[in-house]
Amino acid sequence: MKEILLNNVRVSSSTSPYHQKTVNVLVKDGIITDISESSISSSSAEVIEGNNLWVSTGWVDMRATLNEPGDEHKEDITSLCNAAEFGGFTDVATLPNTNPTIQSKEGIHFIKKMSAFSPVNIHPMGALTKNTKGEEMNELIDMYEAGAVAFTDGIHHSWHLGVVKRAIMYMQKFDGLLVEMANEKTLDMDGHMNEGVPSTLMGTRGIPNIAEWLGIQKLISLLTYTGGRIHFANISAAESVDLIRKAKADGLNVTCDIAAHQIAITDEALSDFDTNKKVWPPFRAQKDIDALWAGIKDGTIDSIVSSHTPHDIESKRLEFDLADFGIIGLETAFANLITNKPNDIDVDLIIEKLTTSPREILKLGLPKIDKGEKACLTIFAPEQEWTFTKEDIRSKSLNTPFIGKTFTGKPVRTIN
């Protein structure tokens, strides 16, 4: 019988009767068999203890790129799960942009079967349209019944509003979720970084905020006509936060997330032309970061994701204009949030954006930290300082600007 004893851990879980209390937790064979503010004795248990350890329900990442099948040299299911576990995640929703595309019930079954015995639960999202080209809707009900948690064209932006309209109306039969990284392609000018003074000084084509928020505005307008649910992924611009805040006030069923790395770097930091800082959406200005934190605080922003995007060296060791967008993020998501958070944002709020909110959006069910419940837990140390090194990377890819960075806040262990 496998036993794990957590000693003196602070609970951060609004669904638990022990929320914000310091307790001891005993897990036997995956079940929380005892939880108490008094000491728990067990002669056979593995003991986890330390200074200022916290425990929450398992963290959920709503957006990670999986390269299996097709590009396993960048990332496969095993390495993705290893990176997620190191980063404190027990659940990860994956994009359908593989080769071949995940766009059938067989594709959904493949991902779920290949990850079935991992300590990380993989929740595949199905492709909204054929080969994510935006032209023809896929068989969404088949994928939903096979276990797809949402539908998206992933790294591609929906351009055909007629197809999107039919898809949203069709998905209302089963309350399906459209996940969209909105962008107006005709306005992004094939840019490579945020449009602003830094891009001008660097002589690099910029991506203006208006490309993102106009893409969001079009879909919000469509939603007022169709009804249904839309989740906006990886918003980055202050204007986008304002639009979504108003849409929620108007009663529309919209949710959104930001990438954890989005609040860590401004566009000014790209002056060294480090291609590991080339991400989509691009790193914006400080005013945009301030707006993102305000959106987190007032509930406009529902969840925070890793936006984990592995790339091999050949995709990044190029001139800045030629390099691919994206960085790996599973290992550093929590650390970036805690290290960069303003003083008026508390740790409990960040944990809520990593646990309860994404589970509600994806309808994954809410684990509970209580006696008799299945253990789905993340243990973490929000005050621990540590330096992220290449040896900490569990992904197959190394495309991150954070190697050598000293962080505050470290995941310690998952129990799932």
Calculate ∠ Cα 169-175-177, nearest 5°: 80
The answer to whether residue 190 scores a pLDDT higher than 90 is no
Residue 210 confidence (pLDDT): 96
Q: How far is CA 332 from CA 62, 147, 409, in A?
A: 15, 28, 10
Task: Check residue 42 and give its pLDDT.
Answer: 84
pLDDT of 189 reads: 78
pLDDT reading at 139 higher than 60: yes
pLDDT at position 2 = 87
Nearest Cα residue to 301 out of 247, 343, 347, 264? 247
Which of 233, 224, 229, 127 has the alpha carbon at shortest distance from 180? 233
The CB density around residue 299, as the number of other CB atoms within 10 Å, is: 13
Sequence letter at residue 130:
K
Tens digit of pLDDT for each residue in 317-331? 999 999 999 999 999
Do the Cβ atoms of 354 and 382 come closer than 8 Å? no
Nearest Cα to Cα of residue 243 among 166, 182, 196: 182
pTM of the predicted model as reported, rounded to 2 decimal places: 0.96
Segment 49-86, tens digit of pLDDT: 988 999 999 999 999 999 999 999 999 999 999 999 99
Fill in the DSSP letter of residue 337: H
- Say how far apart CA 416 and CA 413 lie, in whole Å: 10
CA 166, CA 312: separation in Å to the nearest integer? 37
The answer, yes or no, to whether residue 188 has pLDDT greater than 90, is no
Structural domains for the chain: 58-366 (3.20.20.140)
Q: Taking a C-beta distance cutoff of 8 angstroms, is the pair 45, 360 a contact?
A: no
What's the rounded Cα separation, in Å, for the pair 337 and 334?
5
Round the average pLDDT of the chain to a whole number and report it.
96
Residue type, 49: E
pLDDT in tens, 140-185: 999 999 999 999 999 999 889 999 999 999 999 999 999 999 999 8
CA angle 52, 54, 60 (to 5 degrees): 145
Q: Report the pLDDT value the prediction gives residue 281, as an integer from 0 to 100.
A: 96
Residue 391: pLDDT band with limits 50, 70, 90: very high
**Alpha helix stretches (DSSP H) within 124-230:** 140-146, 161-171, 185-188, 197-202, 209-226
Give the pair of three-digit tokens for residue 364: 């994954």
Q: What is the mean pLDDT of residues 205-224?
A: 96
pLDDT value at 1 more than 60: no
For 223-279, what is each residue's pLDDT tens digit? Answer: 999 999 999 999 999 999 999 999 999 999 999 999 999 999 999 999 999 999 999
The answer to whether residues 240 and 211 touch, using CB atoms and an 8 Å cutoff, is no
